[in-house]
Amino acid sequence: MIKEVLVDNAFTKERQPDNSDVIIIDPYTGCQLQCPYCFQMNDSEWGKNIFVNINIADRVKQQLGDIDDDIYIGSKCDPYMQLEKTYRLTQQCLEVLSKCKNHVYITTKADNELILKDVPLLKSFFTPPTVLMGLSNINQVHKGMDNINIHVANELKANGIDVWCFITPILPYIMNIDGMIEGLERSVPIYFDKLRVMTGGNQDKKLLRWIDEKFPQYHNAYLKILYEADLSYYQNLYSKYKADSRFTFLTDEWGT
CB 8 → ligand SF4: shortest distance, Å? 22
Give residues in contact with ligand SF4 (CB under 6 A).
31, 33-35, 38, 40, 78, 109
Choice between 31 and 96, CB closer to ligand SF4? 31
Give CA–CA dist 160/154, Å, rounded.
10
Backbone torsion region of residue 200, taken as left when φ is above 0, otherwise alpha when ψ lies between -120 and 50, otherwise beta: left
Pairing verdict, β 28-29 and 50-53: antiparallel
- CA separation for the pair 32, 24 (Å, rounded): 18
Give the shortest CB-238-to-ligand SF4 separation in angstroms. Answer: 23
Are 36 and 206 spatial neighbours (Cβ–Cβ below 8 Å)?
A: yes
Question: What is the three-class DSSP state of 248?
Answer: strand
In the complex with ligand SF4, the residue whose CB is nearer, 64 or 190, is 190
Nearer to ligand SF4, 166 or 234 (CB): 166
- Separation of first and last alpha carbons in the chain: 46
* Helices 202-214 + 219-227 axis angle, to 10: 160
Closer Cβ to ligand SF4, 79 or 183, answer by number: 79
Cβ proximity to ligand SF4: between 79 and 172 the closer is 79
